[in-house]
Chain A
Amino acid sequence: MPEVVLSAQNLVKHYPIRKGVLKRTVGQVKAVDGVTFDLHKGETLGIVGESGCGKSTLGRLLMRLEAPTSGTVAFQGEDWSGASGREMRRLRRNIQIVFQDPYTSLNPRMTVGDIVGEPFEIHPDVVPKGGRRKRVQDLLDLVGLNPEHINRYPHQFSGGQRQRIGIARGIALNPSVLICDEPVSALDVSVQAQVVNLMEKLQDELGLAYVFIAHDLSVVRHISDRVGVMYLGRMAELGEEDEVYSRPTHPYTQALLSAVPVPDPTLRGKREQIVLVGDVPSPANPPSGCRFHTRCWKAQDICSTEEPQLVLRPDGHGEHLSACHFAEAREVVQTVDVSDREPDTRFSTLDVGDIPGLDTGPDGVVEEHSDLLHDDTARPPRDTTRLVDEEPEGPRAR
């Protein structure tokens, strides 16, 4: 197996819950509660799980946008939990992040050139000042955007195009790891595939490793080499894509998989459906023992008293990591191997370039994306790009 680029050991993040005028701490939201895994060079590790299970928090911890409550993150063997500001900046160059919502994650007042080139301000040694514009244009070209659009603003691009901008920014510093938090979730189906294909191409060309966080289990299966299933801040199951999807041993994984609709009406009523009762319990007060025991149909007495460890457990073929006392492989999804089937390109394309539709005006600009409901003024920008790196030292040359 290729070398480990990123390693998380027992990562924990608790957020205090404060109440009253004195803001006394009355509890903890256990957003991430003991997560351990390795990420190898050039691989994609998918992270799935229901809303609120801690996926985004994990992403922020890996990026060190937040300090963990406990546990470590090591980049190429170097623990950066205790790193100083300078060391942190050096290490952070290697790990970048792409956010979910292309409508809010880009600063609306910055040009595309400024957005994609901003990392160079923070790490001035990467590209000499004189070469930056050219480098930004190369990056735009690489992600399939027109390099001549370098002076345009985010609102002049569509959702898919904005996600390309986010990706260009993410790869600007030539990182080894790109953390992608729901990178295609906000995109329309016909545009999703464009961005997924682009990400796969960039990975091949640049040898990037991805942590691909998403709630869409089909997209994750498609793009991932390995997959981790999270439940209430912990990893329920972790293994190769095929192990997790074809031979899941954890009841939660099995239930998740069985709930995903498949675009094939001939399978209607024929697929196994495991219906989970109730909702995910609050991460402020996770159930004792196995956190899944309140919804699990296999739960026994031991499940509410003893926490099952994430260890190798047999899956009928070999073994992979699962945190269930009664782990047992169950084929919920009948998988068809289509790796030798060529896609039908008579009506669609494998080209990852951005082929402008007629949404573009006379000079190729998307004019305020067709969907007026996505008006920027309606959704105040959260400006999460600010989070990506700390402010550069000294006044900004702009």
Chain B
Amino acid sequence: MTTDTTTRPKGSEVTYTPQDGLLLEVEDLHVEFHTPDGVANAINGISFSLHQGECLAILGESGSGKSVTAQAIMGILDMPPAVIPQGHIRYCGQDLLTMDPEQRRKTRGPEVSMIFQDALSSLNPVFPVGWQIAEMFRVHRGMNKSDALQQAVALMERVQIPGARDRVKAYPHQFSGGMRQRIMIAVAIALDPAVLIADEPTTALDVTVQAQIMALLQELQEERQMGLILITHDLGVVADVADRIAVMYAGRLVEKADVADLYAAPAHPYTRGLLESIPRLDQKGQKLSAIGGLPPNLMRIPPGCPFNPRCRMAQDVCRRDLPLLREVAPGRLSACHFAEEVINA
């Protein structure tokens, strides 16, 4: 299996070469859903970048737009109802959004790959797992059947599936949740992608299994120098594995920072509130303090700062002017009019 990450000939004519390790650049991305009830503004101008060997966490509550972001990068949004009115997604400098569909399809798997929260519904129930992994090698690498199956077994061993050789012919439902997630990881990394997007990879799993899966993902990332986008709502998981974190709220990034900096002093009231409202395993007698209310309906995001109805610091300006994501301290970005006060609070 090739581990060469600088030039990536993948059987197709196109090669992608990252400049200075920069793999992915999302710029001012917007996604709308045109539904019979109206337009849901799911993503409202987000920008971030991802480098080789880096783990970027995208943190947000349900409905904040994490999965839509991932689907937009993968090019698997249903259009319609989804519309991308604006923005760029560049992979090694080439805009995936303007690329011809055939070439785009060829990036999916060999270049950018994804694992989903629910392995059972993402794997094909009617084909043996070994066959599903082998299929990647046959379609994209033109391998013959037996070579591909050979590779599949090796990969199943790599993701630590016990008795891999005997279980290549088993079907997804014959595996436990944790094992299915390993199989999905095997499918995702089969073609040695440069970017791996993991959308809540452990949310449906027990903590013991979560720990195993996160350890495996970290190991694979290190070994292959992948850029990893870890999508999660769990501040604990982020603290354990991510290098950088982008906090999402109502389809916007409200804060971006190195993980250590963010936990030490959040620069946005939403992040502050979140950290205050989660119970910690290592604390006794902790009092929880909650963020009141709910995230907004994406069809009617409030004017000004989208967080203002729930924000205890909100002033008139917050109900009027949208705060833009700006640098409020070295390496710290926040979309709050009063970020300087928050970060020093």
Contacts and interface: CB of A to CB of B under 8 A. Distances in A.
A349 interface: yes
Contact of B280 (A218, A246, A256, A369): A218
Nearest to A343: B289
B233 A275 contact: no
B312 A357 contact: no
Contacts of B313: 346-347
B45 interface: no
Nearest to B285: A339
A142 B275 CA distance: 27
B14 interface: no
Given A190-B61, A276-B208, A346-B345, A262 B294 contact: no
B92 interface: no
Contacts of B259: 265
Interface string A204-241: 00000000000101110110000000000000000001
A344 B290 CA distance: 10
A241 B283 CA distance: 11
Given A190-B290, A242-B284, A279 B209 contact: yes
B290 A348 contact: yes
Interface in B200-251: 206-212, 214-215, 233-240
Contact of A260 (B281, B295, B300): B281
B276 A219 contact: no
A350 B287 CA distance: 9
B99 interface: no
Given A350-B287, A358-B302, A261 B293 contact: no
A215 B207 contact: yes
Nearest to A266: B260
Contacts of A367: 297
B279 A338 contact: no
Interface of A: 50-51, 158, 160, 188-194, 196-197, 215, 217-219, 221-222, 241-242, 245-246, 255-268, 273, 275-276, 278-279, 333-351, 353-359, 366-374
Given A190-B291, A338-B287, A343-B276, 19 more contacts: A192-B278, A193-B277, A193-B289, A193-B291, A196-B288, A218-B279, A221-B279, A258-B211, A261-B211, A264-B280, A265-B259, A276-B208, A338-B285, A341-B286, A348-B273, A349-B291, A351-B292, A359-B296, A372-B35
Interface of B: 33, 35, 37, 40, 61-63, 162, 176-179, 206-212, 214-215, 233-240, 259-260, 263, 269, 272-302, 309-313, 342, 345
10 contacts: A197-B288, A221-B281, A259-B207, A259-B211, A261-B234, A275-B211, A279-B178, A344-B289, A370-B296, A370-B299
